[in-house]
A and B are shown apart, each in its own frame.
Chain A
């Protein structure tokens, strides 16, 4: 097995564990510390990150897998999880293909708008797929978006750090020296 394959497997494993940790933070830590105040959707921030940074095919399958993990932390039916996540993925791709920016602020704005889109998509899909659709929970979702905006910055930094750690092409030193000598010659 090549080094890049091992790194990819490790990256998928670490991202899965981080997703589990994010979900556990939201379900078992936040409510017992801050009560019923809406928790930041760290899992959603991570999905936006994956959709934005990872190659398309890999992102799709990984997000489907994360949807499956989500159902372990909620009573959300799999059909609702997957359809709403695919809608979210398409939303992120729509902006990814049109706005090219690597700034942190861009990621925060994208995360917040993705939260808004996810809420609207979830409510719409719920009315379409479920016999007893979900309520709007306007204030709750609004506060969630605010929290997502605030938490997107540290979460992005954290995920970017992990993502970079498992990049296959990291031999910058020798490669660039060789390249420089080639250019000189």
Chain B
């Protein structure tokens, strides 16, 4: 009975040394402890990863939302940049010309495909009258034909009812542009001996008392030479795409301004697309 306690008392006196019979026990306990500790670490790690995953999912959703917002802002920024450039261009044009111009915004288009007209947000109240020229930085658009108090209708050069005095910039040959209600027009009464080629610039002639002389009007797309005709049939395309016009100028007073050929060529060759909504 007393033997085992005595042995244990004796063993307590040599604490630094592990007894030979305790070593396997310690070995086992160490092994089990290490095993469970490892297991515990694994469980904690997995749990922690799971919690992290949950957080990552939340973070991901938040970041994606932020990214979408930033992308939207960037698009708006790009759009604003384009608009600023366009408006600056328009402003520069208004500053650098002698003409008295009234800026207007396009608020409507013709109800029928058979006619090519637009409605602008300026009318009699703003000083608009019948047959005033409507232009953009890149070229002629049309003329005011039905001014009302606050808005006005503008007949485009592509309408089949519109007729304008025009001339070929290079040869100075005069003719008349008639609209076709499609996307173009026909330059008529050009002598068949004239040297007209595709790509030639047509400018306003100035005799119609609507447009100042020399303003870009259209570009030649095709020339028909009929054998029995004394004149050419020149198909033209306006320099302004009528379905993309957003802002225009109404010429209140042309101040006898004529555009030099060099200026018009530059204006047509380096279009800034002020009317584009791309």
Q: Which A residues form the contact surface with B (CB < 8 A)?
A: 23-24, 26-28, 31, 35-36, 38, 43, 70, 73-76, 122, 126, 132, 134-135, 137, 140-141, 144
Contacts and interface: CB of A to CB of B under 8 A. Distances in A.
Given A75-B155, A135-B181, A27 B110 contact: yes
Nearest to B241: A36
A139 to B, nearest CB: 10
Contact of A35 (B153, B180, B181, B243): B243
Please tell me the size bucket of the interface on B: 20 to 34
A141 B160 CA distance: 18
Contacts of A132: 160-161, 178
Interface of B: 107-115, 117, 119, 145, 153, 155, 159-161, 178, 180-182, 243
B142 to A, nearest CB: 11
Contact of A76 (B108, B114, B180): B114
A140 B113 contact: yes
Chain A contact residues, majority secondary structure: helix
Contacts of A38: 113
B112 to A, nearest CB: 5
Contacts of A140: 113
A51 to B, nearest CB: 19
A141 B155 contact: no
B188 to A, nearest CB: 12
A74 B112 contact: yes
B180 to A, nearest CB: 7
B114 to A, nearest CB: 4
Given A31-B108, A74-B110, A122-B114, 12 more contacts: A26-B111, A27-B109, A28-B109, A31-B109, A73-B108, A73-B111, A75-B117, A75-B153, A75-B159, A132-B161, A134-B181, A137-B113
Given A28-B119, A132-B160, A135-B181, A75 B243 contact: no
A16 to B, nearest CB: 16
B189 to A, nearest CB: 16
A76 B112 contact: yes
Given A28-B108, A36-B243, A141 B161 contact: no
A126 B181 CA distance: 13
A76 B115 CA distance: 7
